[in-house]
C-alpha cells in the first residue's frame, strides 16, 4: 500500500524530501503536497506539488488529501513550532515524523532514511551542538581511557562515544557491578576489537584506586562518578562529601601518581550559586580540580558544568515518561521552575571535547540557549506520548529541599570567555588558597566520617560565598519534602 505524505515546509529540506519520494520511493510513498507559512507560496506549486495552505490548515489538508503521515521538514524550527505541529498532528489523528536539523542539511542532501520520530531533544529550542570528530579521533588515537562511574547513564554514554574511536584500551571503573557488566557487554558487542577492561571499585577507596591507575596507566580519565540527586544529598550530606569531594581528591591523587595526562570531571550547573549540599559538594570539587592543576605539567585537571541531561538515569524525562505511561499525574515542582537542558550525546561529546581543549584549571560550559520551563517540558512529553492536553494531569508539588526555582551556569564573581569552539564557554572559579582548601577538605572528611550533617552544611556555606544552604531534617529531605515558604 502506498502511503500518502504531507510535507510541512516547502523550503530546501522539504523539496529535497519531495524529490526523494518521487525518485527513490514512489512504490511506497506519494507526496500529495506541502504546508508552508509563507503566504507567497500558498496556492502555488513548488516543484510540481501544491502548497495546500499554512501549517494551521493541517487538519483540513489531512482530511481532504487522505494523508497517512506528515513529515515535518523545517530544519530551523524552534521548540514552539515543533510542539505546535506535534499537537496539530495528534489532534488530526495522523502519524508524524521529523527531518534532520539545519546542521545536517548543511552537510548534504536530506534523505528519507534520515526522517525519524520526534524526540525530546527536538524541543530544546536550538540545534544540538556538533563537535569536531576528526580532532577528537586524532586526540584519542591509541590512548588508554579510564571512565569512573562507567555504569551510570552519562558514564556509560561516554564509554560508547569513546569506543567509536581507535583507542588502545577502555577501563570501565564503577562500584555497581550489574551496571558495569551491562555496559561492558554492550561495548564488546558494539566494538569487538576494543580492549575493554571492567574494574569494580569505589572512588572512595583511595588505595584500590591508586593500584588500578598504576596497573592500567590511563592517559585520559573521565571522572563521572558522583552522587547527583539533590534531595538525597540534603538528607545525607556526609555521602556527598565522601563521594563527590573526597572521591574526586582520590581520583586526582591516583592520576598524579600514575602520570595521567588529563582528568576531566563532570560537574553541574547546580555548582554555580548552589542552593543545596549536592551543588555545593560539586563546587568544592571544582575548587579542588583548579587548585591541584599543574600549569607546567600533568595531570591537566579540567571541569565541565552540565545542565540537565535529557534521558539520563534519574532525570525528569524518564520520570515524566513513566508517569505518563501510568496515566499520571506528572509531578512538577513549580509552574515557573526552569532548567537548562542538553542531550545525552551533547553532554558526553562536550566532556571529550573539553579533554583535548583544556589547558587545565578551567571550567567548560556548553551554550545551551534559554532555560526551559519544566512545566512546558511536561506538556510537550504528554503530547509526544499521544495524549491531548487535559488527558494527563500535571501536579505541582513545590520545590524540594535544596532545589532552586532557576539554575545559573555562572557563579558569583566568574567571567566567561569564548573557547575555540563556538558553542563552548570557558570560565574559572575563584579558588581558596591551596593550604586553606586542603585544611577544609580534611575537616569535611572528618565531619563526614563522624556523620556531623549540620557541621558539614556550615562548613560548605563558609567555603562558598554564593551558596545558600539551609539545615534540613534527614526524614524531610529524603522524602523530597517541599520547601516551606512564608
Total residue count of the chain as it appears in this document: 486
Write down the catalytic residue from 228, 270, 282, 300: 270
Cβ pair 374, 403 in contact under 8 A: no
The domains of the chain are located at 3-118, 133-427
The runs of H, that is alpha helices, within 217-262 are 230-235, 237-240, 247-258
Q: What is the pLDDT of residue 472?
A: 60
The CA distances from residue 346 to 75, 146, 229, 420, in Å, are 18, 20, 21, 17
420-421-423-426 Cα dihedral, nearest 10 degrees: -50
Strands 144-148 and 95-98: what pairing? unpaired
> How far apart (Å, rounded) are the C-alpha atoms in residues 105 and 332?
36
331 DSSP β-pair partners? 395
- pLDDT band for position 274 (cuts 50, 70, 90): very high
**Percent of the chain beyond pLDDT 70?**
88
Look at residues 274, 270, 279 and name the one whose alpha carbon lies nearest to residue 340.
Answer: 270
Percentage helix, strand, coil, to 5, in the chain?
45, 20, 40
CATH code that applies to domain 3-118? 3.40.50.720
The helix (H) or strand (E) run that includes residue 362 is none
- Are the folds of 3-118 and 133-427 the same? yes
Q: Per-residue pLDDT for 110 more than 50? A: no
Q: What is the pLDDT of residue 321?
A: 82
Collapsing DSSP to helix, strand or coil, 320 comes out as helix
Give the cell for residue 89.
Answer: 498532528
- pLDDT band for position 398 (cuts 50, 70, 90): very high
* pLDDT tens digits, one per residue of 186-237: 999 999 999 999 999 999 999 999 999 999 999 999 999 999 999 999 999 9
CATH topology of domain 133-427: Rossmann fold (3.40.50)
476 CB-contact burial (10 Å; exposed 0-12 / middle 13-18 / buried 19+)? middle
Question: What is the Rg, in whole angstroms, of the alpha carbon atoms belonging to the chain?
Answer: 25
Annotated active-site residue 270? The verdict is yes
- pLDDT band for position 434 (cuts 50, 70, 90): confident
Of the ranges 261-270, 449-458, 467-476, which one carries the lowest mean pLDDT score? 467-476
* pLDDT tens digits, one per residue of 56-96: 999 999 999 999 999 988 876 676 788 788 888 888 888 88
Q: Per-residue pLDDT for 102 more than 90? A: no
Q: What's the distance, CA 183 to chain centroid?
A: 18
Look at residues 269, 219, 238, 298 and name the one whose alpha carbon lies nearest to residue 404.
Answer: 269
Q: What is the pLDDT of residue 118?
A: 58
Amino acid at each position: 500500500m502506498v502511503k500518502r505524505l504531507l510535507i510541512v515546509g516547502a523550503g530546501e529540506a522539504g523539496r529535497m524530501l519531495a524529490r526523494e519520494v518521487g525518485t527513490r520511493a514512489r512504490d511506497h510513498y506519494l507526496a500529495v503536497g506541502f504546508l508552508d507559512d509563507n503566504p507567497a507560496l500558498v496556492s502555488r506549486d513548488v516543484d510540481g506539488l501544491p502548497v495546500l495552505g499554512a501549517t494551521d490548515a493541517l487538519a483540513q489538508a489531512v482530511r481532504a488529501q487522505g494523508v497517512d503521515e506528515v513529515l515535518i521538514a523545517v530544519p530551523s524550527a524552534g521548540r514552539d513550532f515543533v510542539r505546535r505541529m506535534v499537537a496539530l498532528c495528534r489532534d488530526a489523528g495522523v502519524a508524524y515524523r521529523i527531518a534532520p536539523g539545519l546542521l545536517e542539511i548543511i552537510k548534504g542532501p536530506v534523505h528519507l532514511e534520515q526522517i525519524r520520530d520526534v524526540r525530546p531533544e527536538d524541543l530544546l529550542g536550538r540545534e544540538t551542538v556538533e563537535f569536531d570528530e576528526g580532532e577528537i579521533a586524532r586526540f584519542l588515537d591509541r590512548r588508554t581511557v579510564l571512565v569512573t562511574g562507567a555504569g551510570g547513564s552519562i558514564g556509560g554514554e561516554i564509554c560508547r562515544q569513546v569506543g567509536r574511536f581507535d583507542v588502545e584500551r577502555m577501563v570501565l571503573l564503577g562500584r555497581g557491578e550489574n551496571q558495569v557488566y551491562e555496559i561492558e557487554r554492550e561495548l564488546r558487542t558494539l566494538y569487538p576489537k576494543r580492549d575493554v577492561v571492567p574494574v569494580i571499585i569505589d572512588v572512595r577507596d583511595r588505595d584500590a584506586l591508586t593500584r588500578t591507575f598504576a596497573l592500567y596507566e590511563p592517559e585520559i580519565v573521565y571522572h563521572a562518578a558522583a552522587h547527583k540527586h539533590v534531595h538525597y544529598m540534603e538528607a545525607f550530606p556526609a555521602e556527598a562529601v565522601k563521594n563527590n569531594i573526597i572521591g574526586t581528591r582520590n581520583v586526582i591523587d591516583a592520576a598524579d601518581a600514575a602520570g595521567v595526562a588529563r582528568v576531566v570531571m563532570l560537574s553541574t550547573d547546580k555548582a554555580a550559586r548552589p542552593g543545596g549540599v549536592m551543588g555545593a559538594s560539586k563546587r568544592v570539587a571544582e575548587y579542588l580540580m583548579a587548585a591541584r592543576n599543574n600549569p607546567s605539567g600533568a595531570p591537566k585537571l579540567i571541569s565541565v558544568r552540565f545542565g540537565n541531561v535529557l534521558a539520563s538515569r534519574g532525570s525528569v524525562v524518564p520520570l515524566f515518561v513513566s508517569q505518563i505511561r501510568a496515566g499520571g499525574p506528572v509531578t512538577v515542582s513549580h509552574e515557573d521552575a526552569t532548567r537548562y537542558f542538553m542531550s545525552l550525546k551533547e553532554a558526553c561529546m562536550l566532556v571529550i571535547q573539553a579533554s583535548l581543549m583544556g589547558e587545565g584549571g578551567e571550567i567548560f560550559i556548553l551554550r545551551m540557549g534559554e532555560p526551559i520551563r519544566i512545566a512546558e517540558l511536561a506538556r510537550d512529553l504528554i503530547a509526544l506520548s499521544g495524549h491531548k492536553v487535559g488527558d494527563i494531569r500535571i501536579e505541582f508539588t513545590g520545590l524540594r529541599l535544596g532545589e532552586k526555582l532557576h539554575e545559573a551556569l555562572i557563579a558569583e564573581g566568574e567571567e566567561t570567555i569564548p573557547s575555540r569552539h563556538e558553542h563552548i564557554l570557558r570560565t574559572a572559579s575563584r579558588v581558596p588558597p591551596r593550604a586553606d582548601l586542603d585544611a577544609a577538605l580534611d575537616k569535611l572528611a572528618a565531619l563526614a566520617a563522624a556523620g556531623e550533617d549540620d557541621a558539614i552544611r556550615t562548613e560548605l556555606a563558609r567555603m562558598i560565598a554564593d551558596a545558600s544552604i539551609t539545615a534540613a531534617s534527614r526524614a524531610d529531605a529524603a522524602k523530597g519534602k517541599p520547601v516551606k515558604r512564608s
